[in-house]
Amino acid sequence: DAGVTQSPTHLIKTRGQQVTLRCSPKSGHDTVSWYQQALGQGPQFIFQYYEEEERQRGNFPDRFSGHQFPNYSSELNVNALLLGDSALYLCASSLVGNTIYFGEGSWLTVV
């Protein structure tokens, strides 16, 4: 059983560009959350999707948007990239009240 898979693992973008990161949750998990982890910092909650709707959102600007598909996979989109968006983006999946599983993350560098 594959756990949480994320793609791409590494990418480099230029300021002002847009990026899409993808996440496939662990089999059977219906809830997907996205986190941003800057170098040397703890992860920060971006948003959470459940049943194809954004259920919760952290303190991130509207440049950060997402989507969940009927198969529970999810995308994170970031528009108008800034240098400060350079970070590890982590996807986590779960069933409510159960252990949370994390992907390996997508390393985004904005130059």
Partner 1 sequence: KNEVEQSPQNLTAQEGEFITINCSYSVGISALHWLQQHPGGGIVSLFMLSSGKKKHGRLIATINIQEKHSSLHITASHPRDSAVYICAVTGTASKLTFGTGTRLQVTL
> Is there binding between residue 65 and partner 1 (CB under 8 A)?
no
> Is there binding between residue 36 and partner 1 (CB under 8 A)?
no
In the complex, minimum distance from the CB of residue 16 to partner 1, in angstroms, rounded to a whole number = 26
Name, in order, each residue with C-beta under 8 angstroms of 43's C-beta and a sequence gap of 6 or more.
35, 36, 37, 90
Amino acid at residue number 5: T
Two tokens at 33? 């959350």
> Is there binding between residue 45 and partner 1 (CB under 8 A)?
yes
> Is there binding between residue 68 and partner 1 (CB under 8 A)?
no
Q: Which is nearer to partner 1, 48 or 68 (CB)?
A: 48
User: From the list 2, 42, 53, 71, which residue makes contact with partner 1 (rule: CB under 8 A)?
Assistant: 42
Two tokens at 72? 């529970």
> Using CA atoms, how far apart are residues 76 and 33, in angstroms rounded to an integer?
10
